[in-house]
Structure 1
Amino acid sequence: MTPVTLQQDPVTSYRRPVDEVLAAFDTDAQHGLSEDGARARLEKYGRNELAAKKPLPGWRKFLAQFQNVLVIMLLVATAISAGLWWYERDAALPYEAIAIFAVVLLNAIMGYIQEARAEEAVAALRQMSAAHASVIRNGARRSIPAAELVPGDIIHIEPGDTIPADARLIHSATLQTAEAALTGESLPVSKDTLPIAEEATLGDRHNMIFSGTAATFGQGRGVVVATGMQTQMGHIAGMLEETPAETTPLQKELARVGKLLGIIVIAIAVVMIATIILVEHVTGFAAIFDVLILGVALAVAAIPEGLPAVVTAVLSLGVQRMAHRNAIVRNLPAVETLGSATVIASDKTGTLTKNEMTVRAVVTASGRVSIGGEGYAPEGEVRREAGRNKDGAMTDNETAIIAGPLRIELERALAVADRANNAVLQKHDGHWTVQGDPTEGALIVAARKAGLEAEALNARFERVGEIPFSSERKLMTTLHTDAHKQEHLLVFTKGAPDLLLGRCTRELVGEETKPLTADRRVEILQTNEQLAGEALRTLGVAFRYLPADAPEADEVDERVEQDLVFAGLIGMIDPPRAEAREAVARAQMAGIRPIMITGDHPVTATVIAAQLGISGNKRVLSGTGIEKLSDEALDQAVKEVSVYARVNPEHKLRIVKALQRGGAIVAMTGDGVNDAPALKTADIGIAMGVTGMDVSKEAADMVLADDNFASIVAAVEEGRSIFSNIRKFLRYLLSSNIGEVLTMFFGVLLADTIGLKAEEQAVVLPLLATQLLWINLATDGAPALALGVDPPDAQAMRKAPRPQGEGVITHQMWSGIVSVGVVMAAGTLLVLDASLPGGLIEGSGSVRYAQTMAFTTIVFFSLFTVFNARSDDQSAFVGLFSNKWLWGAVLLALLLQIAVIYVPFLQQAFSTVSLGLEDWLLCTLVASSVLWLSELRKLITRIKSRD
């Protein structure tokens, strides 16, 4: 047979018999590969490592902070300003250029510090790989570095081992592996060597073991079929490499606003410069440079220099608040995305559920007992259920005290479950954990809740033999002495109910055992199906007495697993988190659609989803079903289906992309390796901090410190508040900048009308570029930052997410921004006119005095505008004193303005003169008009809205 190559067929080995796989890879189960053969294959296939991407140097990460459109425009303005200063030498230092560049540099440093942890998903995957592997070469077992494994190697697996490569099992002695990180399966998976006839998803390939997963029980040997990037873990690493980083809505909108401002700046500058040169008949090199100064001043006026820094600062403050609510943000702009999320695609295991198996029901001959409590703490109420209908629903809410035959049966059944068991229940620092199989741990916890103490059981039942669980038998049996009946040995057996029932001839009823009739067998199997329909994983328990001198007692084997007494059925589940249902309801109230994407069984997923209120139609789509759908059909399916089960990483990616094609903004939660590509593709990836693996954390935008689904909803609320505050300071900053642009534009255009002239200059500006820069950075900066920490709206989680495609700045916002800008410009120019001789309003001041008055007026306009900017329609007087930081910022801005008017060296730097009391009163009176006019506009808006 011609050996297959790694590239040709590493994955379909699960469909072929063991001898064919060994032949295909040209290896021997007993002797393995020779050293020479392994060396040749290592050269051919490469080392068993994940491909590493060359890390991005720190300096390139820092330079990436300057790629924002607004930042680039500011750098251009810096260069022009510095060039003009170099030409004119009108000041000791280029103050404008230094100030602008300082802001740009501050913004870059803040962004770099906040996002310094670069993408390390592939590196985290590599850390999961096994350091060494137990391999058979030249007929001898030896340990080698896992990186030296090659296809065809025979590896040996024991409990606790990390699987070093993908392998087809050739021998399994009750081997079980934990595959939750790869498949999402919450329980360890039993492994066998039988070929699988049909195509199966990763979670159903029971004859395969996968790189990066761990062995929890038993032993096994396998032939390596895939190494390095060809493993399932490698495929995920490849998907991470191929997945581009998504741009958040806020990043897109700020880029759009930046481009829009750039176009406005260029258009206004070109029009103004051309108009001045033509109308004023400007000639000569020096005069043309004066006009270019106007272009720089317009650029300074139009560009909100503080915007990038304020956005970064506000997001950073929001990140700190979210950290207090157990949400750690790794990618700043993702904060805003949370607030606009329309879908939360959540994994089940460890996210909506606790990833802790819990016994919920025990059914014996005399009735059904429910067991309360959560997790592995041996605390919970054990009560008798009064009755259930055929669908499993309670027919009577009343419960009764457990006594009589039912009490006896319950204790016998749980005693069997506790003794036929290899798990250990432990308590560390007040937290209960299970060492061993989670299912066995749940059985021990249930026994403790029912009052069966470990000390008493250990004293009475000493184990003298064991028949381990096997995937073929699906049973586990232990043999014990009985201190109460020393003439007997006790056989305790647990396993698959249907198989165990076939080995039982009698049933425990109270203290007695009765023959197991055919009708009773049917009834037990129907009860088993009923429990399964409730998404409970079921186990049967049975026992028998064995004379101490019986032949079977000398050598424990499968002969003792006959003529058993059936003790009962035990149903268990990985239960939903107690707070998850409320969190789901809150998300739905906020217009967010929760969906479940899991590797677990469809029945389990459907029931858990129904319990949480995620799905009302009980529709579920499996991974194999997804594979059969075209992209168009999947796009339609995701609109209706909210539960997805037995999915692979590729399926998760397809689901997320289909949701996004339908216009959804997707928040994807997860904790395992299998979630990483989808976490990276989603608009915002949310990883679990406690149970989550490094891979998922590095691929995510946000990490939950408490693995609590409710924290996601709290983070959404915080994200909405942050987005609302971003709108507030954008409204504020852009209103001020529009006012400045209009002041500059019409101040120059109407210079003759308002008396703004100077004989020695071709053009006199109403405001100097340094004054505009001071407004944008010093007096506007602090109030804008204070708006970023405005208290959240109490109704934030009762509103739907903002519509897809709606910008951060809406048409209504633009209307308000422009109207405020017009009022600011008109008032500022009137004050300028009244301060100058001639013009519409006669004045007597110098140009420098008039510019100082206009400078102060427009600053006051900004300070009144900050209160308007808190809402487009709500009065500024609602919650006027709710933000103490805002009042502090306004006071700080006022003090800074007083300083720039009266401090001598600042007077020189900003070309200001001292003002009198009547001057301050005039500036205040005129500037307050923006507040009253905005209040009138908002009142009209509210009246129209009510009508």
Structure 2
Amino acid sequence: MLTNNTQIKGLTEDQVTTSREKHGSNQLHYKKDSGLLNMLKSIVGEPMVILLLITSSIYFFTGNTGDGIFLACAIIFVAAISIFQDSRSRLALKRLRQFTKPLCKVIRNGETRQINSTDVVVGDFLIIEEGTTIAADGTIIRSNDFSVNESILTGESFSVEKDANKGNNQVFMGTMVTGGLAIIEVTKTGNQTELGKIGKSLEEVEKEKTPLQTQINNFVKKMVVAGVIIFLIVWGLNYLRSQDILDSLLKALTLAMSILPEEIPVAFATFMAMGAWRLMKTGVVVKQMKTVEALGSATVICADKTGTITENRMSLAKIYTPQNHIKEPEAELNEQEKELIRVAMWASEPIPFDPMEVALHEQYAKLYPQDERPSFKMVHEYPLGGKPPMMTHIFENKKGERIIAAKGGSEAILNVSALSENKKENISKTVSKIASEGYRVLGVGLCTDHTGEFPKKQQDFKFNFLGLVAFYDPPKKNISKVFKDFYNAGIKVKIITGDNANTTNAIAKQVNFKGYEKSISGEELMQIPEAQLSSRLKDIQIFTRMFPEAKLKVINSLKRAQEVVAMTGDGVNDAPALKAAHIGIAMGKKGSEIAKQAASLILVEDDLGKMVDAVAMGRKIYSNLKKAIQYIISIHIPIILTVFLPLILGWKYPNIFSPVHIIFLELIMGPTCSIIYENEPMEKSTMSRKPRPISNTFFNWQELANSIIQGLTITGGTLLVYRYAVGESFDETNTRTMVFITLIAANIFLTLINRSFTHSIFTTIRYRNPLVPVIIGITLILSTLLLVVPDFRNFFGFSPLNSSQLVVSISAGFISTFWFEIPKFIRRKAKLAEM
């Protein structure tokens, strides 16, 4: 349970239930188009379905009812697969949305608790602070230097100041808090809010095509264009020979079906949606599909220190006053040391959420049983700002007594304190000593002689330097292994933090971080010219005292150096850098809503170790998708050429296949590429390879050449079987059966061979993928039924094969694919020679 210092009781559980029954839930409800209807519309518009509809209609029109019924069933089967894949994607996205629902703080039964924003009711008291999204409309009842970005409603990007004591005291659902803190009483929820009335839904996600999706779509479009051209040629040739327009059209449609690689877009959609779903199950929420692509290419991870490398459970570990030595807070403290902690508490938020401020409030409560906090009210606040940063709070009681307390970076407090240079130097040495042991050090100051109006800048106060408070935030237990995993994967790691150099270097050393010896501050970084920055960044791994502009400069410089940058962050100040990075990573627990909105990926448990899993998943998805698409290209080539070449070359049986044969092969290939390869495990060497350059195109010439050569060798095998059958004077049905079985065998062997382009089939056969025997088993059963069941055999125009004919067909399928093990063996040998 969170601390509640507000003296506000809030609603009871019974009042919450009554309010929800009266006013409804805090969700936006809009009439949406039927997902099933839209899906069916898109299915009907698919080129393959259009071809099937045309072909089926021609069969019915010409009296070939059996063929027409088969193709009609094929349409239903294709639609069922599409609906199944789409429902998987929708379910994954629905669960992703559940994970990304924002949380909010509410006061109920006198306690501050964190709840889902959809559970807010009218009458609740919400605590809203910098970096959060406001969960409902309400009226401010308390505020401190509070400002909101209302661009979602007004279109204006600048912040608007709000105050409980002025007319501008209303806040609205969906707007973002850009500064300060406020408590509001909820007046409207759900569709009754201003956001609900104007009909804007926060759940709507703008759809954009990713680079990989664009490449795939362009490839498919080129294949469609080629298919149309060849279709017209074949239709013309067949018509010239037969003078039968419908028969020639059917034969041309056969070829068009063989050319269309409709499995590729299906495979892409399946891989991306299921990849996002698998990542979510590991505690990584991917907000944008393009992030899944980028994960496999990440070359640099810029990590925050607090909460990412460390536990983010700050404990007050040491205190120091100029009159005394360094001391632990649990020791017996004198009045000066107690006053240091008291003023540090007043310099914190009244309702603390930062772990350091929570620790100060707790320590104050131990030292001062007579609590002063209810007697004082914050009258002015200077939020965290400056370089180095500091913050100042001004409290006043009914007697007019003021407390003007400040805390921040030790350099910042020393700069505004009335101390001699000699004393400042001695204190700086103490700071260095404490920080070098891994403690986070803050200076504390108190202003006692200010009256009248408050200055515009907090630095214009003259503070008495009271001392230092030092916090210890232990490194996470797994962080050393996380860094090691990143290094092994060829990924560089940089620490970007607002803390000072000594503290950061000490923590970095403790966790075996490479490059802990050297660091640079944000101020120093800003002085380096852009032309020299990239070369300097290669040698520097730790960046301290960083502010938003400096973080952004680092990210942009790394991007210009062709690095693929991942950036972790949790605060409002991190948002620009998170948005600029290729992969913005927000923390799920301690991250602000602004950070989560700017990021493309959320770590649910704030565990950087999950990024290792995410990178591995990104590499695995990309690798498996590439295997699937290379398989599709390789197996389509022999189908196309087996239909096309006998016709063009004028062989004895020019139209060996009809649409029913092609669609049967297509129905086998679809599950193979989008189910088997999607479920393939990650290869052992995946995380020991260097990241692939993001500039690499998905269809590079070497890989395309591999697929084309594989396709041509399978074509060679099928056509040799064709010529063998003709040479042996087999009839058309016998020849067709042998060629068909050759393609089926080649399909099965290709599936197994292409599970890895490096490792041997004798290695990959041991990979754990239960779907491999299932899909191959179904293929074998169906193929057997086509040969042994007379009705099926007659329908497809097949004939029984004797053992020698089966051996010839299966051997041709085996040899035309298994040869690829030789180049794989050569690659393995070459790789071993390089090591």
Give the structure-1-normalised TM-score. 0.61
Quote how far apart the aligned CAs of 1:464 are.
Answer: 11
CA distance in 2, matches of 1:579, 1:857: 53
AA aligned to 1:73 is: P
Residue in structure 1 matched with residue 186 of structure 2 by the alignment: none
CA distance in 1, matches of 2:676, 2:744: 16
- The answer to whether the aligner puts 1:107 opposite 2:82 as a matched pair is yes
Residue in structure 1 matched with residue 215 of structure 2 by the alignment: 253
Quote how far apart the aligned CAs of 1:715 are.
Answer: 0.9
- The answer to whether the aligner puts 1:295 opposite 2:194 as a matched pair is no
Residue in structure 1 matched with residue 639 of structure 2 by the alignment: 740
Residue in structure 2 matched with residue 910 of structure 1 by the alignment: 796
CA distance in 1, matches of 2:201, 2:559: 21
Residue in structure 2 matched with residue 91 of structure 1 by the alignment: 65
Paired residue secondary structure (2:655): coil
Residue in structure 1 matched with residue 241 of structure 2 by the alignment: 282
Compared CA separation, residues 744 and 704, structure 1 to 2 (3 A) = same
Deviations 1:667-712 (A, max 9, x none): 4544456767876776555443323456655665543221212211
Q: Is the 8 A contact 2:568 2:578 kept in 1?
A: yes
Query: Paired residues, what number?
Result: 715
CA distance in 2, matches of 1:146, 1:854: 67
Compared CA separation, residues 413 and 807, structure 1 to 2 (3 A) = farther
- The answer to whether the aligner puts 1:777 opposite 2:667 as a matched pair is yes
Residue in structure 2 matched with residue 796 of structure 1 by the alignment: 686
**Structure 1 residues 824-833 or 353-362, which shifts more?**
353-362
AA aligned to 2:783 is: Q
Q: Is the 8 A contact 1:163 1:214 kept in 2?
A: no
Compared CA separation, residues 502 and 97, structure 1 to 2 (3 A) = closer
AA aligned to 2:440 is: L
Residue in structure 2 matched with residue 816 of structure 1 by the alignment: 706
Q: Is the 8 A contact 1:363 1:369 kept in 2?
A: yes
Quote how far apart the aligned CAs of 1:830 are.
Answer: 2.5
- The answer to whether the aligner puts 1:439 opposite 2:356 as a matched pair is yes
Compared CA separation, residues 333 and 854, structure 1 to 2 (3 A) = farther
Give the counterpart of 1:586 among 485, 493, 508.
485
Q: Is the 8 A contact 2:227 2:256 kept in 1?
A: yes
CA distance in 2, matches of 1:329, 1:866: 30
Deviations 1:195-240 (A, max 9, x none): xxxxxxxxxxxxxxx84655279xxxxxxxxxx99xxxxxxx9999
Deviations 1:596-654 (A, max 9, x none): 677x578699769966658876345579959x999x99999988887593227xx9888
CA distance in 2, matches of 1:604, 1:58: 58
- The answer to whether the aligner puts 1:81 opposite 2:38 as a matched pair is no
Residue in structure 1 matched with residue 282 of structure 2 by the alignment: 325
CA distance in 2, matches of 1:107, 1:363: 68
Residue in structure 1 matched with residue 385 of structure 2 by the alignment: none
Q: Is the 8 A contact 1:273 1:292 kept in 2?
A: yes
Residue in structure 1 matched with residue 263 of structure 2 by the alignment: 306
Q: Is the 8 A contact 1:738 1:817 kept in 2?
A: no
Q: Is the 8 A contact 1:780 1:862 kept in 2?
A: no
> Any stretches of 5+ residues in structure 2 without a counterpart?
1-26, 105-116, 126-134, 151-158, 166-173, 184-193, 383-390, 398-402, 447-462
Deviations 1:62-112 (A, max 9, x none): 7589889x9843344345434533543423435336525643563366346
Quote how far apart the aligned CAs of 1:939 are.
Answer: 3.2
Compared CA separation, residues 475 and 861, structure 1 to 2 (3 A) = closer
- The answer to whether the aligner puts 1:536 opposite 2:440 as a matched pair is yes
Compared CA separation, residues 860 and 122, structure 1 to 2 (3 A) = closer
AA aligned to 1:81 is: T
Compared CA separation, residues 540 and 939, structure 1 to 2 (3 A) = closer
Compared CA separation, residues 912 and 613, structure 1 to 2 (3 A) = same
Residue in structure 2 matched with residue 647 of structure 1 by the alignment: 548
Compared CA separation, residues 211 and 238, structure 1 to 2 (3 A) = farther
**Structure 1 residues 725-734 or 112-121, which shifts more?**
112-121
Residue in structure 2 matched with residue 177 of structure 1 by the alignment: none
Compared CA separation, residues 525 and 667, structure 1 to 2 (3 A) = closer
Give the counterpart of 2:762 among 877, 881, 897.
877
Paired residue secondary structure (2:519): coil
CA distance in 2, matches of 1:796, 1:858: 31
Q: Is the 8 A contact 1:74 1:104 kept in 2?
A: no
AA aligned to 1:934 is: F
Deviations 1:793-843 (A, max 9, x none): 2222221111233233433322222222122222222223333xxx4x223
AA aligned to 1:720 is: R
Residue in structure 2 matched with residue 527 of structure 1 by the alignment: 430
Q: Is the 8 A contact 2:435 2:506 kept in 1?
A: no
Give the counterpart of 2:752 among 856, 859, 867.
867
Q: Is the 8 A contact 2:393 2:406 kept in 1?
A: yes
Give the counterpart of 1:729 among 621, 625, 628.
628
Larger Rg: 1
AA aligned to 2:257 is: V
CA distance in 2, matches of 1:935, 1:289: 45
Paired residue secondary structure (1:328): strand
Paired residues for 1:263-412 under 5 Å: 263-273=225-235, 281-282=240-241, 284=243, 286=244, 288-331=245-288, 334-344=291-301, 350-352=307-309, 354-363=311-320, 368=326
Q: Is the 8 A contact 2:569 2:587 kept in 1?
A: yes
Quote how far apart the aligned CAs of 1:876 are.
Answer: 1.6
Percent sequence identity over aligned pairs: 22
Paired residue secondary structure (1:843): coil
Quote how far apart the aligned CAs of 1:853 are.
Answer: 1.9
Paired residue secondary structure (2:65): coil
Quote how far apart the aligned CAs of 1:865 are.
Answer: 1.2
Compared CA separation, residues 783 and 912, structure 1 to 2 (3 A) = farther
> Any stretches of 5+ residues in structure 1 without a counterpart?
1-51, 135-144, 150-154, 173-180, 183-209, 218-227, 230-236, 372-381, 383-406, 426-433, 449-453, 480-491, 506-515, 543-563, 757-763
Deviations 1:20-63 (A, max 9, x none): xxxxxxxxxxxxxxxxxxxxxxxxxxxxxxxx999894358975
Paired residues for 1:416-815 under 5 Å: 438-443=355-360, 523-524=426-427, 526-528=429-431, 536-539=440-443, 569-572=468-471, 577-580=476-479, 582-594=481-493, 600=498, 618-621=519-522, 643=543, 645-647=546-548, 663-671=562-570, 683-692=582-591, 701-752=600-651, 755-756=652-653, 764-778=654-668, 781-782=671-672, 785-815=675-705
CA distance in 2, matches of 1:524, 1:259: 69
CA distance in 2, matches of 1:132, 1:624: 49
CA distance in 1, matches of 2:373, 2:596: 46
Q: Is the 8 A contact 2:496 2:546 kept in 1?
A: yes
Paired residue secondary structure (1:735): helix
AA aligned to 1:157 is: R
Paired residue secondary structure (1:792): coil
CA distance in 2, matches of 1:677, 1:565: 35
- The answer to whether the aligner puts 1:855 opposite 2:754 as a matched pair is no
Paired residue secondary structure (1:572): strand
Compared CA separation, residues 638 and 437, structure 1 to 2 (3 A) = closer
CA distance in 2, matches of 1:246, 1:659: 25
Compared CA separation, residues 744 and 465, structure 1 to 2 (3 A) = closer
Q: Is the 8 A contact 1:747 1:765 kept in 2?
A: yes
CA distance in 2, matches of 1:623, 1:525: 19
CA distance in 2, matches of 1:352, 1:369: 26
Compared CA separation, residues 641 and 103, structure 1 to 2 (3 A) = farther
Give the structure-2-normalised TM-score. 0.68
Compared CA separation, residues 79 and 249, structure 1 to 2 (3 A) = same
